[in-house]
Amino acid sequence: MAALSDTEARSRLAGLDGWEIVDGKLHRELSFTDFGEAFAFMTRVALIAEKLDHHPDWSNSWNSVTIDIVSHAEGGLTERCFELAARVSEVLR
């Protein structure tokens, strides 16, 4: 799966509320009620990431989660990156 051009990636970004492109990665910062809620969210996303075989770079500090998605293999954003981001957004609904 080839990396998207910058124009293609920016076009795809228009369909993802809450996401932005930072340093060539899909980026989102989230806040939850507490650690348990944040960790539960990460667990749901981990299962999705395993099914897609595409894993985010992320961090958690108490009630916050920061997510960055990029294809290291392709050296940029791919369709799979946007699919994972869309699935993360679905978990948040």
Q: What is the pLDDT of residues 47-87, one digit of tens each?
A: 999 999 999 999 999 999 999 999 999 999 999 999 999 99
Average pLDDT over residues 18-46: 98
Domain residue limits at 53: 6-92
Burial pattern 9-41, b for ≥16 Cβ within 10 A else e, equals beebbeebeebebeeebbbbebebeeeeebeeb
CATH number of residue 86's parent domain: 3.30.1360.20
- Within a domain: 67: yes
Percent of the chain with pLDDT over 70: 100
Cα(53)–Cα(6) distance, rounded to whole angstroms?
Answer: 23
- Within a domain: 78: yes
Number of structural domains in the chain: 1
Cα(90)–Cα(1) distance, rounded to whole angstroms?
Answer: 23
Length of the chain: 93
- Within a domain: 45: yes
- Within a domain: 1: no
Sequence-ordered strand ranges (E) for the chain: 20-22, 25-31, 57-61, 64-69
Q: Is pLDDT of 1 > 90?
A: no
